[in-house]
Amino acid sequence: MQTTSDDVLIGRIASGDRLAMQVLFARHHVKVYRFVLRLVRNESAAEDLISEVFFDVWRQAGKFEGRSAVSTWLLSIARFKALSALRRRSEVELDDETASAIEDQSDDPEVVLAKKDKGAVLRQCLSGLSAEHREIIDLVYYHEKSVAEVASIVGIPEATVKTRMFYARKKLSELLKERGIDRGWP
Amino acid sequence: MNAVNETPVSDIELLLPWHAAGTLSNRDSQRVETALANDPELARQFELVREELSEDIHLNETLGAPSARAMESLFARIEAEPARMPAVSFNLGARVRDFFASLSPRTLAWSASAAAIAILLQAGLIAGIVIKENGASSVSGGDYQTASVPSPFVGDGSFALIRFQPQANAADIAKFLEVNNLSVTGGPITGALFRVQVAATKLPTTDLANIVKKLQSDKMIVGFVAATQ
């Protein structure tokens, strides 16, 4: 049981309480790191980015209005930072990375064995999705965000959240089919 | 993103990932459950969703954690920041609330002096709520959300005088105000009474009496309540 709510911690951080900052960091930094890492695909860059995310929290805590959960606010900041970092890379580099996420692994003999493990292949295909699709799947499945919260984090209408998730799942099925696993959907 | 226009996709089908993650409202969750019970194909698709959910969690959990470098870098930057002045309006309520919350009900009931302190702190707390509601603070984000209707100190509407139980803590009072859509519009006056707005319009006497009766039923929070002008 958490003895101090995130909202209370933010209030204390706004008044310059560094211990409250440590508690908030300890509570959320791993999930924020994983969210960022899945977007930027670089551990060192992800570490730098979460440091920036929480530094923004330190500076902006007084402006937090409590309209959303603190974790949703953190992910919104993290997403903005991650996309800004990605924009500094070239599109070519990004395309290569996305392609290699699948192609490199398909040449690996271990993947042949992994094909017997549907779960392992599914995880590889999840990694092979575009950043946009990875993001929404992670927000819904791993970060347990509602439709409204995803809409807030990503900055799109709720109806678009639902259809984007649908297409992300559809793309996942296509990737699985390419790798010999036909789920019979869509 | 394209619209879903290749094949008709029901709203229920779109909601399956959130149902699997347990983040739907009770109403939507019930709709999905009913559909799943009556549609074997949808149920089969839901199993695929659960499979994806499981593997996505597995994938994320194997990503590891950041090194201590991230935390060291963060706190080095924070240390380098100049000390900040507390955000007074924000922390007034928070500090009163924290202090008030730290006093256990048993302690408060133990002596008359403790009760007097509690009433004083309640006054501070509720004053903080009033200040916040009336926009005196430029910084929002506190825990308290009282009534959705703006609460002028003077104006139309229906009102009641209320005294809270000394042992009622800040969180309980805030929740009570929120649940009953009450706005504190004045007080404390003699007898630790606060004036609260129970409706934005002038209610018939019987309606107001019913609301007062309902408020009075919460004995843990309310010590006294009566309709007023």
pLDDT, chain A, mean: 87
Q: Which two tokens stand for residue B167?
A: 């042992």
Give me the residues of chain B with pLDDT under 70, please.
1-8, 84-155, 167, 190-191
Select from A67, A38, A73 the least CA-distant residue to A53.
A73
- Residue B13 in contact with partner chain A when CB distance is under 8 A: yes
Question: Which chain B residues contact residue A145 at CB under 8 A?
Answer: 23
- Residue B142 in contact with partner chain A when CB distance is under 8 A: yes
Lowest-confidence region among A33-42, A120-129, A141-150, B77-86: B77-86
pLDDT of residue B98: 54
pLDDT of residue A67: 87
Nearest CA in chain B to A49: B70
* A158-182 residue pLDDT tens: 999 999 999 999 999 999 999 989 9
Topology of domain A90-178, CATH = Arc Repressor Mutant, subunit A (1.10.10)
Give the 3-state secondary structure of residue B101: helix
Nearest CA in chain A to B20: A141
- CATH 1.10.1740.10 corresponds to the domain A1-89: yes
Contact A15 B90 (CB under 8 A): yes
pLDDT of residue A34: 96
Q: How far apart are alpha carbons B195 and B127 in whole angstroms? A: 11
Nearest CA in chain B to A119: B55
As a whole number of Å, the CA-based R_g of chain A is 18
For the question of an ipTM over 0.90, the answer is no
Domain ranges within chain A, ordered by starting residue:
1-89, 90-178
Q: How far apart are alpha carbons A164 and B136 in whole angstroms? A: 42
- Whether residue B21 contacts residue A141, with contact meaning beta carbons closer than 8 Å, is answered with yes
> Which residues are CB-neighbours of B107 under 8 A, at least 6 positions away?
B114
For residue B8, say if its preceding peptide bond is cis, omega within 30 degrees of 0: no
For residue B107, what is the DSSP state?
A: H
- Residue B76 in contact with partner chain A when CB distance is under 8 A: no
Contact A166 B9 (CB under 8 A): yes
**A132 vs B81, more confident:** A132
* B77-104 residue pLDDT tens: 999 988 765 544 444 455 555 555 554 4
* A75-108 residue pLDDT tens: 999 999 999 998 876 544 555 555 444 444 444 5
pLDDT of residue A44: 94
Compare CB distances from A54 to B58, B60, B74 and report the shortest one's residue.
B74
Select from B86, B193, B91, B181 the least CA-distant residue to B132.
B91
Residue A184 CB coordination number (10 Å):
10
Q: How far apart are alpha carbons A143 and A138 in whole angstroms? A: 6
pLDDT of residue B225: 84
Question: Which chain B residues contact residue A5 at CB under 8 A?
Answer: 143
Question: Which chain B residues contact residue A156 at CB under 8 A?
Answer: 1
Contact B87 A7 (CB under 8 A): no
Contact B23 A146 (CB under 8 A): yes
Question: Which chain B residues contact residue A46 at CB under 8 A?
Answer: 66
**A186 vs A10, more confident:** A10
